A and B are shown apart, each in its own frame.
Chain A
Amino acid sequence: MAQLDSKIPEGDLKDKWTNYKEHQHLVNPANKRKIDIIVVGTGLAGASAAASFAEMGFKVKAFCYQDSPRRAHSIAAQGGINAAKNYPNDGDSVYRLFYDTIKGGDYRAREANVYRLAEVSNSIIDQCVAQGVPFAREYGGLLANRSFGGALVSRTFYARGQTGQQLLLGAYSALSRQIGLKNVEMHTRCEMMDLVMIDGRCRGIVTRDLLTGEVKSHFAHCVVLATGGYGNVYFLSTNAMGSNGSAAMKAYRKGAYFANPCMVQIHPTCIPQHGDFQSKLTLMSESLRNDGRIWVPKKKEDAEKLRKGLIKASQIKDEDRYFYLEERYPAFGNLVPRDVASRNAKERCDAGFGVNSTGNAVFLDFKYAIERLGKDVVEQRYGNLFQMYQKITDTDPYKEPMMIYPAIHYTMGGLWVDYELSTTVPGLFAAGECNFSDHGANRLGASALMQGLADGYFVLPYTVQEYLADQFNVPRINPAENEAFQKAEADVKAYINKLMSIKGKESVDSFHKRLGNIMWNNVGMARTKQSLETAIEEIQKLRQEFWQNVRIPGEANELNNELEKANRVADFLELGELIARDALHRNESCGGHFREESQDNGEAKRDDANFMYVGAWEYKGENQAPELHKEDLNYQFIKVQTRNYKTGK
């Protein structure tokens, strides 16, 4: 078994990153021009990394599948971004942000990485303000903050309900500047199909141009994957339709370990599903839980009447409402972490208290906030979210409470990376949601934006340089004259050909939906040994069927949306099994991973004695069982405890 060396620097937690930066190797400015870096994905992590590399003097090639880097799904993040500025003077600090993140992640993240994340968080806010990101401000002209789930301080910076959009447009503007200066060569509508390995190092990628179908390869001295998460394995999620796990899976097949794939976050406040034709689920920002109160009826007969449409929520008296989060978790109330809020909603609905026609919804009520603050203040804070809700559901949330239900939202798991964000493949880095590193078993709200930008602006620019310090002597390779590149291209063409020649009867979407059903029913919010074994078996069967019966109309050498989807679904069909395998082996409940066998009065029960490690899976070949490697988590600086959101101490 290969040793997983996380390369954590020596020294006190507070000094590790400073020590690293002070002693790392650098590349001299003249040599930076001789070095190419490929960045795949242009969301927060990818765009910020590509822009920063180019500013430093490296030559960058960036790739995205959308028609513009501005469209990456980071743009959809609503609520905010955390930082330890302590502007509100409410007791925040770098240590507290670090501690909350580790605790929120249920003690399954690496201490040193998370501390560094908290440490650079303040620089992110400075950087974004300098770019012209219009964060919310107070009348005095200084930045405003709000509170978010899993924290007792107000450390979240926001730009209305469009924080992700504004941060991404900030990174996109920095990237655009570098494209204009010709330091970045931007490839849009282009999908990565494989990595190219030369002498054990990653030296480039093979891509398919989504407009022409052209398969082409590109050389670089190192490659950064910032390709986001894999929530779309479940078909229905809050992810964009094109979000996929293919780049990560291609890397996995080339030797990059896949860590904690079962750690999937189910977000508690999404608009409930309404039909079989549904294509995606829409998130309502967690910030709504600041002022909205979550409840279901106390009486089952009220719930039944609601489901049949006989009464409205507003007709149920206060004393007949069960504010279950406030009662069960008095210290955090409606602001418990996402995994806890989601499981409690499921528990109430399973017990027969669901409030919409499908029985899978709970209320998020603003009546009390409107009484307390007035409609104007509520509108100022959440107006755009209310408008969005009304457009989708045709219901006015100022009058009737919102209905919400949990949905797949974020994947904490991802490619295993060390402290330098390097995968187990030399020369291949992973950043943002694509890696596993900072959120453990559960991510706190407003931390994804923080991590994406931390990786891209403030971590990779250092750590990539450490790797590249001895690489300036490696001459650029012309893929057309290189055997490894030619073989990789030929392999990709053969793979596409294999997909195109199936010529079956069932559409790609149909397979994707069937996979999603298996995943949601067996590898969703509550998992058992039996459900996971069922999932593995059914996914294997479905995968076989896919390769015999999928129908992809059109040709490979033209714009072909069905072929694009088929390539992604083929990878999801493997990734789904990997998630189930990881969930099966992890016989404990932690964060977003809940095994019914491991609970204590309905609360998740961690098993630190046996599972306090990162589970990293190594690919062993087609239809072979992957091999598990463990990276033990040694908490040296904090005391590991059972998460407690019930009492204030």
Chain B
Amino acid sequence: MSENKSLKLTLKVWRQKNRQAKGEFKIYDVENISTEASFLEMMDILNEQLVNDPEKYPEGPVSFDHDCREGICGMCSLFINGRAHGPDDAITTCQLHMRKFNDGDTITIEPWRSGGFPVIKDLMVDRTAYDKIMQAGGFVSVSTGGVPDANAIPISKVDADEAMDAAACIGCGACAATCKNGSAMLFVSAKVSQLALLPQGKVEAARRAKAMVAKMDELGFGNCTNTGACELECPKQVSISHIARLNREFLKANIQD
């Protein structure tokens, strides 16, 4: 285990009162941050400082999204020093620990920067666009009850495993936020691919691909130019090979018409 050290840091944090207001960076100093602390615990310490001195900090505590703090709910976000979910691979911001930083560092903290995710306040953004894409077709159209026995249809382990790789997506938005085109293709492809790989989802695969892509386009997300940035920053390492499958499904669906 690494040694526990204490850090003094300068934080450059994006502050924005609401969607309409003009934002700006504010500089805050924090001290005695343990290298064992998580990044969001460091943010908690900052906020405690801001709450406790309203005269010095009339802007109040920093709003940021977070919930499970174990890398699975997909609620946390943040660009940290220019990287989605910060300077480590295959993690969410809540799994980032302060041992990744050095004493005296300046850390720049920004919200997701993407047209599809408008800022709500400070570091919080609106990701309801992802829900809307899911509502357009990210499901198998079965209702509760009246389904066959779970073992009635064998599924090859390879397909099930690949479907699981895609299904691991947590909907955090890092893919679209980090994409220079603001494309949501990795997110959409993860669901299209998961369900296209399974016999249960295959039945309406064409309809699903078309509906989800149409909704994605309607909501103003950009096109994919295969830069691969999304895959690199995806905390669950969802592969861009799923984008290839989405393209195939989409093409197939349109040829069928």
Q: Mark A69-83, 1 if CB is under 8 A from B, else 0.
A: 111110110000000
Taking a contact as CB atoms under 8 Å apart, the answer to whether A126 and B2 are in contact is no
Counted as pairs of residues, one from A and one from B, with CB atoms less than 8 Å apart, the total is: 220
Contact flag A142-B131 (CB < 8 Å), given A71-B75, A132-B195: no
Q: Which residues of A contact B38 (CB under 8 A)?
A: 279, 392
Q: Mark A590-634, 1 if CB is under 8 A from B, else 0.
A: 000000000000000000000000000000000000000000000
How near does chain B come to A475, taking the closest CB pair, in angstroms? Answer: 28
Stretch of B43-51, B105-113, B226-234, B241-249 contacting A (4+ beta carbons < 8 Å): B43-51
Q: Which of A70, A275, A558 has the most CB of B within 10 A?
A: A70
Taking a contact as CB atoms under 8 Å apart, the answer to whether A188 and B128 are in contact is yes
Q: Determine the distance from Cα of A30 to Cα of B198 in the docked complex, in whole angstroms.
A: 36
Contact flag A67-B65 (CB < 8 Å), given A55-B144, A129-B150, A392-B97: yes
Q: Which of A68, A85, A130 contacts B130 (CB 8 A)?
A: A68
Cβ of B251 within 8 Å of any chain A Cβ, yes or no, is: no
Contact flag A68-B120 (CB < 8 Å), given A131-B142, A393-B1: no
Q: Which of A122, A394, A509 contacts B99 (CB 8 A)?
A: A394
Q: Which residues of B contact A169 (CB under 8 A)?
A: 167
Q: Which of A73, A136, A177, A458 contacts B68 (CB 8 A)?
A: A73
Taking a contact as CB atoms under 8 Å apart, the answer to whether A177 and B74 are in contact is no
Taking a contact as CB atoms under 8 Å apart, the answer to whether B61 and A553 are in contact is yes
Taking a contact as CB atoms under 8 Å apart, the answer to whether A174 and B131 are in contact is no
Taking a contact as CB atoms under 8 Å apart, the answer to whether A507 and B48 are in contact is yes
Q: How many residues of B contact A (CB 8 A)?
A: 77
Q: Which residues of A contact B143 (CB under 8 A)?
A: 52, 55, 174
Stretch of A6-14, A159-167, A515-523 contacting B (4+ beta carbons < 8 Å): A159-167
Q: Which of B44, B91, B141, B168 contacts A277 (CB 8 A)?
A: B44
Q: Which residues of B contact A66 (CB under 8 A)?
A: 67, 73, 75
Contact flag A85-B150 (CB < 8 Å), given A66-B67, A130-B142, A553-B51: yes
Q: Which of A388, A457, A558 contacts B71 (CB 8 A)?
A: A388
Q: Which residues of B contact A172 (CB under 8 A)?
A: 134
Q: Which residues of A contact B120 (CB under 8 A)?
A: 211, 559
Q: Determine the distance from Cα of A174 to Cα of B142 in the docked complex, in whole angstroms.
A: 8
Q: Mark A124-153, 1 if CB is under 8 A from B, else 0.
A: 011111111111111111110000000000
Q: Which residues of B contact A93 (CB under 8 A)?
A: none
Q: Which of B45, B70, B128, B140 has the most CB of A within 10 A?
A: B70
Contact flag A71-B74 (CB < 8 Å), given A134-B194, A277-B34: yes
Within 8 A of A (CB), among B120-162: 120-121, 124, 126-128, 130-131, 134-136, 138-145, 147-151, 153-157, 160-161
Q: Which residues of A contact B139 (CB under 8 A)?
A: 131, 173-174, 176-177
Taking a contact as CB atoms under 8 Å apart, the answer to whether A132 and B75 are in contact is no
Q: Which of A73, A136, A393 contacts B160 (CB 8 A)?
A: A136
Taking a contact as CB atoms under 8 Å apart, the answer to whether A132 and B140 are in contact is yes
Closest to B44 in A: A279
Q: Determine the distance from Cα of A521 to Cα of B38 in the docked complex, in whole angstroms.
A: 25
Cβ of A471 within 8 Å of any chain B Cβ, yes or no, is: no
Q: Mark B12-26, 1 if CB is under 8 A from A, else 0.
A: 000000100000000
Q: Which residues of B contact A165 (CB under 8 A)?
A: 72, 168, 170
Closest to A555 in B: B60
Closest to A140 in B: B154
Q: Determine the distance from Cα of A135 to Cα of B153 in the docked complex, in whole angstroms.
A: 13
Cβ of A242 within 8 Å of any chain B Cβ, yes or no, is: yes
Cβ of A87 within 8 Å of any chain B Cβ, yes or no, is: yes
19 pairs across A/B with beta carbons < 8 Å? A51-B144, A68-B130, A68-B171, A127-B145, A129-B147, A134-B164, A135-B160, A159-B167, A180-B135, A274-B36, A277-B41, A278-B37, A279-B40, A388-B71, A391-B88, A391-B91, A395-B1, A507-B48, A553-B61
Spell out A's residues near B (CB within 8 Å): 48, 51-52, 55, 66-73, 75-76, 85, 87, 122-123, 125-143, 159-160, 162, 164-166, 169, 172-174, 176-177, 179-180, 186, 188, 211, 240-242, 274-275, 277-280, 282-283, 387-388, 391-395, 457-458, 461, 507, 509-510, 551, 553-554, 558-559, 561-562
Spell out B's residues near A (CB within 8 Å): 1-2, 18, 34, 36-38, 40-41, 44-45, 48, 51-52, 54, 60-61, 63, 65-75, 88, 90-91, 95, 97, 99, 120-121, 124, 126-128, 130-131, 134-136, 138-145, 147-151, 153-157, 160-161, 163-164, 167-168, 170-171, 194-195, 198, 200-201
Additional A-B contacts beyond A132-B198, A132-B200 (18; CB < 8 A)? A70-B74, A71-B74, A75-B68, A76-B68, A126-B150, A127-B145, A132-B140, A132-B195, A132-B201, A135-B150, A139-B157, A142-B154, A162-B72, A164-B72, A166-B164, A176-B135, A277-B45, A507-B52
